[in-house]
Amino acid sequence: MRYSLLSRFQGAFLGAAAGVVLGAGCQGRSKAQLQQLRPGVGGRGFGPDSSGRGSQAADLGRLAVAGAESLIQCGVLNVSGWDGSEELSRASGTVGARAAGICLPVALFNHENQEKLLSHLHGAALSVRASRAASEGVLAVGCALAMALKEKLDPQTLIPQTIACLEDAGAVNTATAEQLVRVESLLQLRAGLEMAVEQLGRGEAVARAAVGRGAGGSWPESASVALAFYCFLSTPEDIRLSVMRAVRAGVEPMLTGMLTGALSGAYNSTAGMPAAWRVALSLPAGTTSLRELWGVAGAAEILQLAARLFAAWSGVYQPAEAGIELCRWGAVAAPDLIRPR
Protein backbone atom coordinates (compact mmCIF):
# COMPACT_ATOMS: atom_id res chain seq x y z
CA MET A 1 0.00 0.00 0.00
CA ARG A 2 1.66 3.20 -1.16
CA TYR A 3 -0.48 5.56 0.90
CA SER A 4 -2.83 5.14 3.83
CA LEU A 5 -6.55 5.18 3.15
CA LEU A 6 -6.94 8.17 5.47
CA SER A 7 -4.41 10.15 3.45
CA ARG A 8 -6.38 9.34 0.29
CA PHE A 9 -9.63 10.54 1.88
CA GLN A 10 -7.90 13.76 2.88
CA GLY A 11 -6.15 14.11 -0.47
CA ALA A 12 -9.47 13.85 -2.33
CA PHE A 13 -11.04 16.58 -0.20
CA LEU A 14 -8.02 18.85 -0.29
CA GLY A 15 -7.57 18.40 -4.04
CA ALA A 16 -11.24 19.20 -4.62
CA ALA A 17 -10.97 22.33 -2.48
CA ALA A 18 -7.91 23.53 -4.37
CA GLY A 19 -9.68 22.90 -7.68
CA VAL A 20 -12.72 24.95 -6.70
CA VAL A 21 -10.67 27.87 -5.37
CA LEU A 22 -8.36 27.97 -8.38
CA GLY A 23 -11.31 27.54 -10.73
CA ALA A 24 -13.05 30.55 -9.20
CA GLY A 25 -10.15 32.70 -10.39
CA CYS A 26 -10.65 31.48 -13.96
CA GLN A 27 -14.42 31.84 -13.99
CA GLY A 28 -15.81 34.19 -16.61
CA ARG A 29 -12.45 34.71 -18.35
CA SER A 30 -12.13 34.90 -22.11
CA LYS A 31 -9.97 32.44 -24.03
CA ALA A 32 -7.26 35.08 -24.45
CA GLN A 33 -7.30 35.90 -20.75
CA LEU A 34 -7.05 32.24 -19.80
CA GLN A 35 -4.00 31.78 -21.99
CA GLN A 36 -2.21 34.56 -20.13
CA LEU A 37 -3.52 33.65 -16.68
CA ARG A 38 -1.22 31.86 -14.26
CA PRO A 39 -3.49 30.93 -11.34
CA GLY A 40 -1.69 29.89 -8.21
CA VAL A 41 0.11 31.15 -5.18
CA GLY A 42 1.17 34.75 -5.43
CA GLY A 43 1.14 38.06 -3.69
CA ARG A 44 -2.65 38.14 -3.71
CA GLY A 45 -2.96 34.76 -2.09
CA PHE A 46 -4.22 31.42 -3.37
CA GLY A 47 -6.28 31.43 -6.50
CA PRO A 48 -9.02 33.81 -7.48
CA ASP A 49 -9.30 37.50 -8.09
CA SER A 50 -13.07 36.97 -8.10
CA SER A 51 -15.35 34.72 -6.09
CA GLY A 52 -16.92 32.93 -9.03
CA ARG A 53 -20.42 33.83 -7.91
CA GLY A 54 -21.70 33.81 -11.47
CA SER A 55 -20.71 30.20 -11.89
CA GLN A 56 -23.18 27.36 -12.28
CA ALA A 57 -20.84 25.47 -9.95
CA ALA A 58 -20.95 27.97 -7.10
CA ASP A 59 -21.07 26.42 -3.61
CA LEU A 60 -20.00 22.97 -4.74
CA GLY A 61 -17.72 22.94 -1.72
CA ARG A 62 -20.54 23.74 0.68
CA LEU A 63 -22.56 20.83 -0.72
CA ALA A 64 -19.58 18.49 -0.32
CA VAL A 65 -19.15 19.58 3.30
CA ALA A 66 -22.87 19.25 4.03
CA GLY A 67 -22.92 15.80 2.44
CA ALA A 68 -19.95 14.66 4.51
CA GLU A 69 -21.53 15.95 7.73
CA SER A 70 -24.75 14.09 6.91
CA LEU A 71 -22.86 10.84 6.38
CA ILE A 72 -20.89 11.33 9.58
CA GLN A 73 -23.96 12.00 11.70
CA CYS A 74 -26.54 9.69 10.08
CA GLY A 75 -24.55 7.13 8.11
CA VAL A 76 -26.58 8.04 5.02
CA LEU A 77 -26.96 11.07 2.79
CA ASN A 78 -30.04 12.88 4.08
CA VAL A 79 -30.68 15.50 1.39
CA SER A 80 -34.37 15.70 2.35
CA GLY A 81 -33.28 17.35 5.57
CA TRP A 82 -31.67 20.16 3.59
CA ASP A 83 -34.93 21.55 2.16
CA GLY A 84 -34.90 25.29 2.71
CA SER A 85 -31.49 25.04 4.37
CA GLU A 86 -28.46 27.15 3.63
CA GLU A 87 -26.72 24.34 1.73
CA LEU A 88 -29.30 24.12 -1.05
CA SER A 89 -30.56 27.70 -0.97
CA ARG A 90 -27.01 28.98 -1.55
CA ALA A 91 -26.26 26.39 -4.23
CA SER A 92 -27.10 28.41 -7.30
CA GLY A 93 -25.87 25.87 -9.80
CA THR A 94 -27.68 23.37 -12.01
CA VAL A 95 -28.94 20.11 -10.56
CA GLY A 96 -26.08 18.35 -12.33
CA ALA A 97 -23.57 20.55 -10.57
CA ARG A 98 -25.30 19.85 -7.26
CA ALA A 99 -25.03 16.13 -7.92
CA ALA A 100 -21.30 16.55 -8.56
CA GLY A 101 -20.97 18.47 -5.30
CA ILE A 102 -22.30 15.64 -3.17
CA CYS A 103 -20.58 12.94 -5.23
CA LEU A 104 -17.28 13.25 -3.35
CA PRO A 105 -18.30 12.29 0.22
CA VAL A 106 -20.74 9.62 -1.01
CA ALA A 107 -18.09 7.99 -3.21
CA LEU A 108 -15.54 7.98 -0.40
CA PHE A 109 -17.99 6.61 2.14
CA ASN A 110 -19.16 3.73 -0.09
CA HIS A 111 -15.98 2.99 -2.02
CA GLU A 112 -15.40 -0.59 -0.82
CA ASN A 113 -18.62 -2.06 -2.28
CA GLN A 114 -19.30 -1.39 -5.96
CA GLU A 115 -22.98 -2.29 -5.84
CA LYS A 116 -23.61 -0.07 -2.83
CA LEU A 117 -21.45 2.69 -4.32
CA LEU A 118 -23.45 2.87 -7.56
CA SER A 119 -26.75 2.62 -5.73
CA HIS A 120 -25.98 5.44 -3.31
CA LEU A 121 -24.50 7.69 -6.00
CA HIS A 122 -27.55 7.14 -8.18
CA GLY A 123 -29.81 7.93 -5.22
CA ALA A 124 -27.87 11.10 -4.49
CA ALA A 125 -28.23 12.24 -8.11
CA LEU A 126 -31.96 11.50 -8.09
CA SER A 127 -32.41 13.43 -4.86
CA VAL A 128 -31.39 16.64 -6.64
CA ARG A 129 -33.28 15.65 -9.83
CA ALA A 130 -30.15 15.45 -11.96
CA SER A 131 -30.45 14.60 -15.65
CA ARG A 132 -29.41 11.18 -16.90
CA ALA A 133 -26.21 12.52 -18.42
CA ALA A 134 -25.28 14.30 -15.19
CA SER A 135 -26.10 11.18 -13.14
CA GLU A 136 -23.85 9.03 -15.30
CA GLY A 137 -21.06 11.57 -14.94
CA VAL A 138 -21.37 11.33 -11.17
CA LEU A 139 -21.29 7.53 -11.35
CA ALA A 140 -18.19 7.60 -13.57
CA VAL A 141 -16.27 9.87 -11.21
CA GLY A 142 -17.41 7.80 -8.22
CA CYS A 143 -16.15 4.57 -9.81
CA ALA A 144 -12.76 6.16 -10.50
CA LEU A 145 -12.50 7.49 -6.94
CA ALA A 146 -13.35 4.05 -5.55
CA MET A 147 -10.62 2.43 -7.66
CA ALA A 148 -8.11 5.01 -6.42
CA LEU A 149 -9.03 4.37 -2.78
CA LYS A 150 -8.73 0.60 -3.24
CA GLU A 151 -5.43 1.07 -5.11
CA LYS A 152 -6.87 -0.55 -8.22
CA LEU A 153 -6.64 2.54 -10.40
CA ASP A 154 -4.33 2.02 -13.35
CA PRO A 155 -4.12 5.20 -15.46
CA GLN A 156 -3.59 3.07 -18.58
CA THR A 157 -6.85 1.17 -18.13
CA LEU A 158 -9.03 3.57 -16.12
CA ILE A 159 -11.35 4.47 -19.01
CA PRO A 160 -12.31 0.87 -19.96
CA GLN A 161 -12.53 -0.02 -16.26
CA THR A 162 -14.94 2.84 -15.66
CA ILE A 163 -17.09 1.97 -18.67
CA ALA A 164 -17.19 -1.68 -17.57
CA CYS A 165 -18.21 -0.60 -14.07
CA LEU A 166 -21.11 1.43 -15.43
CA GLU A 167 -22.15 -1.29 -17.88
CA ASP A 168 -22.29 -3.84 -15.06
CA ALA A 169 -24.75 -1.57 -13.30
CA GLY A 170 -26.69 -0.90 -16.49
CA ALA A 171 -26.05 2.81 -15.95
CA VAL A 172 -24.30 3.87 -19.12
CA ASN A 173 -25.69 5.00 -22.47
CA THR A 174 -23.98 5.37 -25.82
CA ALA A 175 -23.31 9.10 -25.43
CA THR A 176 -21.53 8.72 -22.10
CA ALA A 177 -19.42 5.79 -23.29
CA GLU A 178 -18.48 7.68 -26.45
CA GLN A 179 -17.28 10.67 -24.45
CA LEU A 180 -15.07 8.45 -22.29
CA VAL A 181 -13.74 6.61 -25.34
CA ARG A 182 -13.01 9.98 -26.94
CA VAL A 183 -10.96 10.89 -23.86
CA GLU A 184 -8.96 7.68 -24.23
CA SER A 185 -8.30 8.44 -27.90
CA LEU A 186 -7.10 11.94 -27.07
CA LEU A 187 -4.71 10.54 -24.48
CA GLN A 188 -3.33 7.99 -26.92
CA LEU A 189 -2.75 10.75 -29.46
CA ARG A 190 -1.14 12.91 -26.76
CA ALA A 191 -3.53 15.66 -27.77
CA GLY A 192 -3.10 19.08 -26.23
CA LEU A 193 -5.62 20.80 -23.99
CA GLU A 194 -7.06 23.00 -26.74
CA MET A 195 -7.73 20.01 -28.99
CA ALA A 196 -9.28 18.12 -26.07
CA VAL A 197 -11.69 20.97 -25.34
CA GLU A 198 -12.66 21.16 -29.01
CA GLN A 199 -13.17 17.41 -29.44
CA LEU A 200 -15.06 16.89 -26.20
CA GLY A 201 -17.21 19.93 -26.92
CA ARG A 202 -18.05 18.51 -30.33
CA GLY A 203 -19.03 15.22 -28.72
CA GLU A 204 -21.22 17.07 -26.25
CA ALA A 205 -23.04 18.86 -29.05
CA VAL A 206 -23.76 15.54 -30.76
CA ALA A 207 -24.97 14.03 -27.48
CA ARG A 208 -27.37 16.89 -26.86
CA ALA A 209 -28.76 16.63 -30.38
CA ALA A 210 -29.33 12.91 -29.91
CA VAL A 211 -31.11 12.94 -26.55
CA GLY A 212 -32.63 16.42 -26.50
CA ARG A 213 -31.38 19.50 -24.71
CA GLY A 214 -33.53 18.98 -21.63
CA ALA A 215 -32.55 15.37 -21.04
CA GLY A 216 -28.96 15.65 -22.14
CA GLY A 217 -27.85 18.19 -19.60
CA SER A 218 -25.89 21.37 -20.18
CA TRP A 219 -22.29 21.67 -21.36
CA PRO A 220 -20.67 22.00 -17.92
CA GLU A 221 -22.47 19.03 -16.36
CA SER A 222 -21.19 16.35 -18.73
CA ALA A 223 -18.16 17.85 -20.47
CA SER A 224 -16.57 18.74 -17.14
CA VAL A 225 -16.48 15.04 -16.26
CA ALA A 226 -14.77 14.14 -19.55
CA LEU A 227 -12.27 16.99 -19.16
CA ALA A 228 -11.57 15.97 -15.57
CA PHE A 229 -10.66 12.46 -16.72
CA TYR A 230 -8.51 13.90 -19.51
CA CYS A 231 -6.62 16.35 -17.27
CA PHE A 232 -6.05 13.77 -14.54
CA LEU A 233 -4.92 11.00 -16.87
CA SER A 234 -2.66 13.35 -18.85
CA THR A 235 -0.45 13.83 -15.77
CA PRO A 236 -1.67 11.35 -13.11
CA GLU A 237 1.34 11.79 -10.84
CA ASP A 238 1.25 15.61 -10.85
CA ILE A 239 -1.80 17.04 -9.10
CA ARG A 240 -0.62 20.60 -9.59
CA LEU A 241 -0.39 20.34 -13.37
CA SER A 242 -3.63 18.35 -13.64
CA VAL A 243 -5.67 20.92 -11.74
CA MET A 244 -4.01 23.92 -13.41
CA ARG A 245 -4.85 22.58 -16.87
CA ALA A 246 -8.40 21.75 -15.78
CA VAL A 247 -9.21 25.26 -14.58
CA ARG A 248 -7.53 26.90 -17.59
CA ALA A 249 -9.58 24.82 -20.04
CA GLY A 250 -12.33 27.43 -19.75
CA VAL A 251 -15.15 24.89 -19.34
CA GLU A 252 -16.86 25.61 -16.02
CA PRO A 253 -13.50 25.89 -14.24
CA MET A 254 -14.79 25.42 -10.69
CA LEU A 255 -16.61 22.18 -11.46
CA THR A 256 -13.87 20.77 -13.71
CA GLY A 257 -11.23 21.81 -11.18
CA MET A 258 -13.06 20.16 -8.31
CA LEU A 259 -13.52 16.84 -10.13
CA THR A 260 -9.91 16.79 -11.35
CA GLY A 261 -8.58 17.72 -7.92
CA ALA A 262 -10.64 15.00 -6.24
CA LEU A 263 -9.44 12.31 -8.67
CA SER A 264 -5.81 13.36 -8.46
CA GLY A 265 -5.97 13.86 -4.70
CA ALA A 266 -7.41 10.41 -4.10
CA TYR A 267 -4.78 8.86 -6.36
CA ASN A 268 -1.76 10.77 -5.00
CA SER A 269 -3.03 11.33 -1.43
CA THR A 270 -1.96 14.28 0.71
CA ALA A 271 1.65 13.37 -0.09
CA GLY A 272 1.14 14.62 -3.63
CA MET A 273 -0.37 17.95 -2.62
CA PRO A 274 2.05 20.84 -3.29
CA ALA A 275 3.32 22.23 -0.01
CA ALA A 276 2.78 25.79 -1.26
CA TRP A 277 -0.90 25.03 -1.86
CA ARG A 278 -1.42 23.64 1.62
CA VAL A 279 0.32 26.62 3.18
CA ALA A 280 -1.64 29.09 1.04
CA LEU A 281 -4.95 27.43 1.89
CA SER A 282 -4.09 27.82 5.57
CA LEU A 283 -2.95 31.44 5.48
CA PRO A 284 -5.33 34.35 6.16
CA ALA A 285 -4.88 35.55 2.57
CA GLY A 286 -6.09 32.22 1.28
CA THR A 287 -8.88 31.41 3.71
CA THR A 288 -11.32 34.00 2.39
CA SER A 289 -12.09 31.90 -0.69
CA LEU A 290 -12.37 28.69 1.32
CA ARG A 291 -14.70 30.33 3.79
CA GLU A 292 -16.91 31.65 1.02
CA LEU A 293 -16.86 28.64 -1.30
CA TRP A 294 -16.58 25.81 1.24
CA GLY A 295 -17.74 27.36 4.50
CA VAL A 296 -14.54 26.32 6.29
CA ALA A 297 -11.70 28.34 7.78
CA GLY A 298 -8.80 26.58 6.09
CA ALA A 299 -7.05 23.40 5.05
CA ALA A 300 -6.88 22.04 8.61
CA GLU A 301 -10.68 22.04 8.85
CA ILE A 302 -10.98 20.19 5.54
CA LEU A 303 -8.47 17.58 6.72
CA GLN A 304 -10.41 17.22 9.96
CA LEU A 305 -13.68 16.72 8.06
CA ALA A 306 -12.10 14.01 5.90
CA ALA A 307 -10.72 12.33 9.04
CA ARG A 308 -14.16 12.27 10.67
CA LEU A 309 -15.71 10.85 7.49
CA PHE A 310 -13.00 8.18 7.48
CA ALA A 311 -13.80 7.43 11.13
CA ALA A 312 -17.51 7.06 10.32
CA TRP A 313 -16.68 4.70 7.46
CA SER A 314 -14.38 2.71 9.75
CA GLY A 315 -17.10 2.22 12.35
CA VAL A 316 -15.82 4.50 15.10
CA TYR A 317 -18.50 4.79 17.80
CA GLN A 318 -18.65 8.59 17.85
CA PRO A 319 -17.18 9.74 14.52
CA ALA A 320 -18.43 13.32 14.96
CA GLU A 321 -15.96 13.71 17.83
CA ALA A 322 -13.07 11.95 16.12
CA GLY A 323 -9.93 13.89 15.29
CA ILE A 324 -7.09 13.34 12.91
CA GLU A 325 -4.88 11.72 15.53
CA LEU A 326 -7.65 9.42 16.75
CA CYS A 327 -8.31 8.17 13.24
CA ARG A 328 -4.64 7.63 12.63
CA TRP A 329 -3.89 5.68 15.78
CA GLY A 330 -7.26 4.28 16.85
CA ALA A 331 -8.43 0.72 16.23
CA VAL A 332 -11.81 -0.70 15.29
CA ALA A 333 -12.55 -4.38 15.86
CA ALA A 334 -15.23 -6.82 16.88
CA PRO A 335 -15.87 -7.20 20.67
CA ASP A 336 -13.13 -9.08 22.54
CA LEU A 337 -11.00 -9.39 19.42
CA ILE A 338 -8.39 -6.88 20.57
CA ARG A 339 -7.41 -7.30 24.22
CA PRO A 340 -4.87 -5.56 26.48
CA ARG A 341 -1.63 -7.44 27.01
pLDDT tens-place string over residues 271-300: 999 988 888 887 765 555 788 888 888 889
Quote the pLDDT of residue 166.
84
Mean pLDDT of 292-311: 90
76-114 pLDDT, tens per residue? 887 666 644 555 545 445 666 677 788 899 999 999 999
- Contact between 176 and 204 under an 8 Å Cβ cutoff? The reply is no
Out of 28-32, 46-50, 166-170, 273-277, least confident range: 46-50
Kindly tell me if the per-residue pLDDT of 270 is higher than 90.
yes
Quote the pLDDT of residue 261.
96
Higher-confidence residue: 295 or 153?
153
Highest mean pLDDT among 216-220, 273-277, 314-318 belongs to 273-277
Closest alpha carbon to 20 in 294, 330, 283: 294
Average pLDDT, the chain: 78
Quote the pLDDT of residue 253.
87
Contacts of 12 (CB under 8 A, 6+ apart): 104, 108, 145, 148, 149, 262, 263, 265, 266, 306
What pLDDT band is residue 241 in, cutting at 50, 70 and 90?
very high
Mean pLDDT of 56-61: 67
Quote the pLDDT of residue 204.
55
pTM of the model: 0.84
Kindly tell me if the per-residue pLDDT of 50 is higher than 60.
no
